[in-house]
Structure 1
Amino acid sequence: MGHNKAFEFAAMPNAEGYFGEYGGSLVPEQLLKVMQDIDKAYQEIRVTPEFQNELRDLHRYYVGRPSPLYYARRLSEHCGGAKIYLKREDLNHTGAHKINHSLGEALLAKHMGKTRVIAETGAGQHGVAMATACALVGIDCEIHMGEIDIAKEAPNVVKMKILGAKVVPVTRGTKTLKDAVDSAFEEYLKDTDSTLYAIGSVVGPHPFPMMVRDFQQVIGEEARDQIQEMEGRLPDALVACVGGGSNAMGLFTAFLNDTDVEIYGVEPAGKGLDTPDHAATLTLGKPGAVHGFKCYVLQDEDGEPLPVHSIASGLDYPGVGPQHSYLKDLGRVNYISATDDECLDAFMTLSRREGIIPALESSHALAGAMRLARELDKDKIIVVNLSGRGDKDADYVANKLGL
């Protein structure tokens, strides 16, 4: 496999948290010190054998890692082109990749002597994973969630409450993920001493984009070993959905220096890129700032974030991870999009061809991969990050499709 020195990614981000021109910590003075403390604690703890061993044991005995890499034979035959492999993050405890960084953040909170974790959630997967991790380590948990998402993702809300988390409905603005982030951040500012704000993606001020990526990169490391064991070589392409972009960075990181491996991030095109109802930040946004960091943002003339839409609550965000923004500019990752309708088609196709019900977020990646598979020869290999399962979406999809 080609190893091109032009792509040497180990040093990202720099000490200030920048990936190229993106990232950083654009926060009020009082919060800058807090972020630096979190960074310092993380850098200290991450290299200790105690932390690494505890996390490794939890991955294995609690989460059920490594998650399988599955050859989707009937789906591949249906597309009539490349072989599609699914990285089964949907089989993790709590049903998505979110548990990977939630455990890391909960352990970090415990190490720092915090007594509460506060977090935001869109589809509820990060909320459930964080509530789970906090129950496990014995820390209070508070989850902020938009009112619209609470109605749409009711099963996850119930789980969070059962796990002992306090769920705070957010009724402002669009009542979705962006507003949940605003609300959680404001609450966090009231008490940064005893609380850790656990961001649910590779977004936010430094060190979160780096930290969440580091906790998620186990996905790609496993997939890399698994595909070589199964096929004797690396894949031709990787595909993952991108909202904030944590599951995608989790898969992509281990392959960034392999320039023969094409990488695709699939954004939500919603009701169409020619409508205002989408969340295709890298496709149609421009560089700006949101939630304390620089990235591509869907914004109006005044630089204010635009309202966004996706059928998948977890992708409904006007910004995107700073590392994704940088990878777009470098041309290392191809950012494409899939509409709500394509997502629903992929959701039903996988369910009926393979007996696997995927999350609506992951269905965007599937839609992109199915499109790609049709264009590639049968000797090509695609690895898709099936980042979550669709239990939370089943009722919504059934109602929408009249099943």
Structure 2
Amino acid sequence: MQKPYLESMPDENGFFGKFGGAYLPPQLEATYAEISRAYDKLSKSFDFINELKKIRKHYQGRPTPITYCRNLSDFVGGGQIYLKREDLNHTGAHKLNHCMAEALVAKYLGKTKLIAETGAGQHGVALATAAAYFGLECEIHMGEVDIAKEYPNVVRMKILGAKVVPATHGLKTLKEAVDSAFDAYLKDTETQLFAIGSVVGPHPFPKMVRDFQSVVGFEAKEQFLEMTGRLPDMVTACVGGGSNAMGIFSAFIEDSVKLYAVEPAGKGDKIGEHSASLTYGKEGIMHGFNSIMLQDEEGNPAPVHSIGSGIDYPSVGPEHAYLNSIGRTNIGLCSDTESIDAFYKLSQHEGIIPALESAHAVAFAMKYAKENPKESILVNLSGRGDKDIDFVVENYPIPTKWA
């Protein structure tokens, strides 16, 4: 009898087909093997599972609801749009789903410090929150450009007790933050856990983060069936590394539901103008895993751009690369301009201000709804837009709704 998809993928070495694995310097091989063994044990432990359930219910406020966007659906004049409200998860995004669990793993391993990267700051805030909850030290590496752009989240991290370290090399955004965090982690793997913030990195993190985020998909599946009596026709989410997308996709992989991973098309199709790895990239190894990545002429990670600081990454989670390679997922594209339009449309028609990252999925859903008027569309609204409002209003005038 064939195992269910989530039990069979990845394989024991962390590969989804040819994507994934653990391409590590020798000094980290034993460390990641230890993390993998610990996760295999904890994922079957009643105590671990029970504690995580209690945290999700009594601390995070799960389950998050599904909201039917009647006004936005009527405005678009097509299919029916629903939102899985991860913006209502504690700290305002889906990131806490895996951060609380990673902190639990760190405690089990006897670590005293959490270290991580962040782009838009949502993972940084969530990990700082988890560290405060469990009494752990926390250090967050963030690109200098993103520190200025997402300053409200920088303040939140500091209030929560985290040390924020600016990444000052290269483009000074998400990739450089990962570089910086890895360098700091290499100096001390005994007391620190590098709590990777997406379904990227060396095995077992793509699997771990997917499993921890799958709560989003399984909640949504049950809720949608209860609301409508059927599954959605299409499920969509924005993709940079891809944790929120794998979270909601997980529950629907074996169903006849269309899955759309929405990539940031940025401001053009030239290198450095977008972050659409699956659309324009090719196979390559970066940050310890094999996937599809954007490359320059010499095969190095290419410069990237997106208005959403959490999705401007030159690669994508290996499971996304695999699912797309076998035709199980489709790719959607959303430009900076379209994401700003969706940011304001959702705010003014539904009273929900989305994160710029999540607005990419909303924008694609709006386009898809117009073209597929008989379908129901479930969007993972992965985060709220508090962090983005200063940047948006300074650069894009607030439209008059009824003009």
Place the TM-score, normalised by the shorter chain, in its bin: over 0.9
8 Å CA contact retained: 1:9, 1:257: no
Q: Residues 138 and 32 from structure 1, CA distance in 2 versus in 1: closer, same or farther, beyond 3 angstroms?
A: same
User: In the alignment, which of 393, 398, 401 is matched to residue 393 of structure 2?
Assistant: 398
In the alignment, the residues of structure 1 paired with residue 74 and residue 391 of structure 2 have an alpha-carbon distance, to the nearest angstrom, of: 28
Shift, 1:301, TM fit: 2.2
In the alignment, the residues of structure 2 paired with residue 6 and residue 189 of structure 1 have an alpha-carbon distance, to the nearest angstrom, of: 37
8 Å CA contact retained: 1:120, 1:200: yes
8 Å CA contact retained: 1:279, 1:315: yes
In the alignment, the residues of structure 1 paired with residue 351 and residue 332 of structure 2 have an alpha-carbon distance, to the nearest angstrom, of: 26
Residue 260 of structure 2 corresponds to 264
Q: Residues 132 and 9 from structure 1, CA distance in 2 versus in 1: closer, same or farther, beyond 3 angstroms?
A: closer
Q: Residues 330 and 9 from structure 1, CA distance in 2 versus in 1: closer, same or farther, beyond 3 angstroms?
A: farther
TM-score for the superposition, normalised by structure 2: 0.97
Residue 314 of structure 2 corresponds to 318
In the alignment, the residues of structure 2 paired with residue 364 and residue 372 of structure 1 have an alpha-carbon distance, to the nearest angstrom, of: 12
Residue 166 of structure 2 corresponds to 169
Shift, 1:120, TM fit: 0.3
In the alignment, the residues of structure 2 paired with residue 250 and residue 283 of structure 1 have an alpha-carbon distance, to the nearest angstrom, of: 21
8 Å CA contact retained: 2:271, 2:303: no
TM-score for the superposition, normalised by structure 1: 0.97
In the alignment, the residues of structure 2 paired with residue 110 and residue 316 of structure 1 have an alpha-carbon distance, to the nearest angstrom, of: 31
Residue 141 of structure 1 corresponds to 138
Paired amino acid for 1:278: H
Residue 370 of structure 2 corresponds to 374
In the alignment, the residues of structure 1 paired with residue 278 and residue 396 of structure 2 have an alpha-carbon distance, to the nearest angstrom, of: 29
The runs of 5 or more residues in structure 2 that have no matched partner are 399-403
Paired amino acid for 1:387: S
8 Å CA contact retained: 1:7, 1:256: no
* Secondary structure, counterpart of 1:314 in structure 2: coil
Shift, 1:346, TM fit: 0.4
User: In the alignment, which of 70, 73, 87 is matched to residue 70 of structure 2?
Assistant: 73
Shift, 1:377, TM fit: 2.4
Residue 99 of structure 2 corresponds to 102
Residue 279 of structure 1 corresponds to 275
Residue 401 of structure 2 corresponds to none
Shift, 1:8, TM fit: 4.1
1:84-95 aligned within 5 A: 84-95=81-92
Paired amino acid for 1:307: P
Q: Residues 61 and 6 from structure 1, CA distance in 2 versus in 1: closer, same or farther, beyond 3 angstroms?
A: closer
In the alignment, the residues of structure 2 paired with residue 21 and residue 317 of structure 1 have an alpha-carbon distance, to the nearest angstrom, of: 21
1:3-402 aligned within 5 A: 8-258=5-255, 260-274=256-270, 276-378=272-374, 380-402=375-397
Shift, 1:9, TM fit: 4.9
Pairs aligned (count): 397
8 Å CA contact retained: 1:120, 1:180: yes
Shift, 1:276, TM fit: 3.4
In the alignment, the residues of structure 2 paired with residue 8 and residue 17 of structure 1 have an alpha-carbon distance, to the nearest angstrom, of: 14
In the alignment, the residues of structure 1 paired with residue 310 and residue 266 of structure 2 have an alpha-carbon distance, to the nearest angstrom, of: 13
In the alignment, the residues of structure 2 paired with residue 107 and residue 316 of structure 1 have an alpha-carbon distance, to the nearest angstrom, of: 28
Shift, 1:100, TM fit: 0.2
In the alignment, the residues of structure 2 paired with residue 205 and residue 142 of structure 1 have an alpha-carbon distance, to the nearest angstrom, of: 20
The runs of 5 or more residues in structure 1 that have no matched partner are none
* Secondary structure, counterpart of 2:8 in structure 1: coil
Shift, 1:376, TM fit: 1.0
8 Å CA contact retained: 2:60, 2:89: yes
* Secondary structure, counterpart of 2:29 in structure 1: helix
* Secondary structure, counterpart of 2:7 in structure 1: coil
* Secondary structure, counterpart of 1:315 in structure 2: coil
Q: Aligned-pair RMSD on alpha carbons?
A: 1.2
